A and B are shown apart, each in its own frame.
Chain A
Amino acid sequence: MTSIREISEPSLQVVGRRIPRVDAGERVTGRAIYCADLMRPGMITGHIKRSPHAHARILAIDTSKAAALKGVLAVVTAQDFPVVAPGTIIPFGETGADAWVSALTVIARDRVLWRGHAVAAVAATDPYIAAKAVDLIEVSYEVLPALMDIETATAPDAAVMFPEHKPKGFDAANPAPRNVGGRTLIERGDTAAALATAAVIAEVHTITDTAHQGYIEPQACVAEAEATGFVTIWASTQGAFQAEIQTAVLLGLPQSQLKVIPLETGGAFGGKITVHVEPIAARLAQKCGRPVKIVTSREETFAGGSGPAAAARIAMKIAADATGKLTAIDGRYVLDSGGIPGTPTTLLMQASAAPYQCANLRLDGWEIVTNKPRTEAYRGPGGIQAAFALEQAMDEIALKLDLDPLELRRRNAAVTGSMMPIGTPFPTIAFTAIADRIAAHPCWREPLAAGHLPRGRGLAFGYWRGTSMTSAAHVTIAGDGRPMVTMGAVDISGTRTAMAQVAAEEFGLGVADVHVAMGDTKSVGYSDAAAGSRVGRTMAAAVSYACKDALDQLRARAAQRLQCPLSELAYAGGVFRAGAATISLFDLMRATLTEGAIVGRGVSTKLPLGVETAAHVCDVEVDPETGQVTILRYTAFQDVGRALNPPAVEGQIEGSVSQGIGWALTEGFDYAADGRLRNASMLDYRMPTALDLPTINCVLIETPVPDVPYGVRGVAEVPIVPVAACVGNAIRRAIGVRMTHMPMTPERIVMALRAAATEPVPARA
């Protein structure tokens, strides 16, 4: 909504302008094509059989009755897929990924690891036959004890889910407790000594329930196998190349025999990086020779294992001297990874300490395996959990020292050159500039008006490290001289529009004169998934390089046509000029089209780090009778580097805040002791509606990242980070109760108020 930008760059003509999405017309008319919309000749329906147990050994699977049903054309189980060993590292970003995790996620082999884990699948001529066939598959299980929470899983007598797994961070002298996936320790200085001598200590223990990304489009794909063996998959994915590599390994198919074509993605937020249905559809298609479409139901999406975000328990202790200067941050983090080890803890740990300068750190992160669906990334994975602990502890320090919470944060804020938690200096970081903007903004300056119910104002900082990974693009020039950009990355957030602006800027043309498309995995260079807010910045670089490459090729042709040396040739606005002689891109391509294609190539990888910083302010009203929280006002401040297209950036921030408010107040998976998800519907898993949210105001601050084309910074992860802490701090200021269990549901607020009634804490305005 309201947006204030700090800097404008007069030299840029197209980049930074507020323009509508180039693909918006397709969306508002229903013409945009998602996987479920795709029809192929002879296409049939795939359907997945899922486990009714949270933890069980598979003794036998009898598919004979299903296979005999008229209309069933193929049946698969794990026996139809090669075994993928742990440590089968496939390309992904700077670290790679383990295809063993994908294989285990897609279909259970000898054990089911969560209720809803896939065990078999069928392809049939209509969905009713497919559903009936799935019911006819008989699976015998030996039911094992379900480890449904961190305490049960780490108990000394707990069944060990992965006896062969060697968790990192432990050795023979220091053995891991049961079902620990791994441990990471970040230490600096002497935290114990700093805690012992601190003027003030704040300790907050938080619990965050499992939540879901909540994309509206379920998992979906269409797979087709040619007689030659070549397989094509149309996918709803964040990364066409990630989908291709995982599927190739899981099928035992050479990567050259597989092409993934990304279609529109109906929301993803981290949940569409790991494949879930693609290898199954592909194997079914190979077996029956017909195209197979799989679309999961909402219940399958929520309960079947397509990636909720990790639940977390965090014990956060921070210490300060009498002036509020932080002297120690001591965090212990325990993440619930769900059924497969490998949830990264380090980004969460960094997010829980990075906003502030502090000499003594002890950040101790654990991930635990339980019998819940394997968790996957969700928008700044771990960030919101981290800030929920850190920023509420900061609020406690402010209360104890009777300091203004903004002033407390400003005194401690990380600055350019100060030390990151991992021990390297911060590149440009804008917390101080953000604090200045907040101090001057009405959302902070104006006092909160009293209402008939208790009201409070909350503040929280947020940090996300950001990443680079790799993006590739190429630019060809159409016969009429117009640039045609093909991106290797999937557009899940308006990337085509932003890249049209970049290409238009590079060529000195209008946005309408360039065309940007998503490529498939056989038409453009390898690009990592659209994840971690990296695509905007790395793709802008790749497109910029590709345009420059194409212009160099055009320049050579133009020099020849205009019979001038290259050095005398100038280019601007679609026209080459040498003295008085000119030739337009149109005329140049008309004259030289038959000389062959112009293909500009651009790859960007390992761009300089651009950290993401934000701070949010909100006012809430709490009804102590019902526990209902109403958000009256919400303002998000963020350093966005450079907004390629400001409304798209605001859209990312507003959407992030919306998701954050959902998790803060109402969204949490409710698992029964037997592993059943009790709220596997959009009615019971309560995501915000238009009636639940206030207007979200955005204040964009632009601190370009040095040495990165256009200075672009990731923008879509950090705006979810501070939300729950910001709301929690506002609730604390309204009703005097520190809410430490997320979501902060009305029930939990009422219970906390009742508990506090025996030991009253004074409310503060």
Chain B
Amino acid sequence: MKIVVTLDVNGEPRQALADGRDTLLQLVRDQLGLTGTKEGCSNGNCGACTVLLDGEPVCACLVLAAEAQGAHVTTIEGVAVGNALHPVQAALIKFGGTQCGFCTPGVVLSAVALLDRVAVPSDADIRYAIAGNICRCTGYGKIVEAIQAVATSRQEASR
């Protein structure tokens, strides 16, 4: 059974024909061509497919495409504004927080969601926020350092 899904993706109105069995992950990757969202496990364990669904980080592989009807979805392609990187992206580059890069889009979305929710997160907040994103390359240190740097610069800016 095919269904028409109408939703807002990265601020753009989109419409796609999805199979009733398709997940939001398949919708954004295969129907909308937004391949920055990665598939690592298809059962919500690795976090590589993290997107924001109405502002909340979710594993896109655990959401049916049909459930995203009318939703606002942010994928990694919508995090930077044009070529202007989000501070989390810039910090991950600066601190070496991306290696193979496969988990990186999910990590970015988890971090962006955290920083949207908590103005100045602690180290524990950061580690908790990205605990659902498995990274096999970095050991997380440089990722945590990068997100901390964004938090610190925010704190300094607010003084």
Binding site for B on A (CB under 8 A): 1, 20-21, 23-34, 36-37, 39, 126, 128, 213-218, 264-269, 295, 297-298, 492-494, 647-648, 650-651, 654-655, 657-659, 681-683, 687-691, 693, 695-696
Contact = CB atoms under 8 A, between A and B. Distances in A.
B33 interface: yes
A24 B92 CA distance: 8
Interface string B87-125: 011101111101111111100100000000000000000
Tell me which of A28, A37, A695 has the highest count of chain B C-beta atoms within 10 A of its own C-beta.
Answer: A28
Contacts of A1: 141-142, 145
A738 to B, nearest CB: 27
A266 B77 contact: no
Interface string B135-149: 111111111110000
Contact of B136 (A24, A264, A655): A655
Contacts of A658: 136, 138-140
Interface of B: 19, 21, 29, 33-43, 45-46, 48, 75-77, 79-80, 85, 88-90, 92-96, 98-105, 108, 126-128, 130-145
A128 B35 contact: no
A297 B133 CA distance: 18
Contact of A216 (B37, B40, B75, B94): B40
Contacts of B46: 216, 298, 682
A216 B48 CA distance: 8
B96 A295 contact: no
A695 B35 CA distance: 32
B100 A691 contact: no
A216 B33 contact: no
Contact of B93 (A28, A32, A34, A215): A28
Contacts of B128: 690-691
A268 B145 CA distance: 25
A656 B96 CA distance: 15
A267 B102 contact: yes
B38 A217 contact: yes
Contacts of A655: 99, 136-139
Given A20-B93, A21-B93, A651-B137, A28 B19 contact: no
B35 A654 contact: no
A658 B140 CA distance: 8
B89 A28 contact: yes
Given A25-B93, A216-B103, A682-B43, 7 more contacts: A21-B96, A24-B93, A216-B100, A216-B134, A265-B100, A689-B132, A695-B141
Contacts of A654: 138-139, 141-142
Instruction: Give me the 6 closest cross-chain CB pairs, A-B, nearest first.
Output: A30-B36, A266-B102, A27-B101, A30-B76, A658-B139, A654-B139
A265 B76 CA distance: 19
Nearest to B91: A28
A218 B93 contact: no
Nearest to B130: A690
B99 A20 contact: no
B35 A30 contact: yes
A411 B44 CA distance: 50
Nearest to B96: A647
B46 to A, nearest CB: 5
A727 to B, nearest CB: 14
Nearest to B35: A37
B148 to A, nearest CB: 11
A292 to B, nearest CB: 15
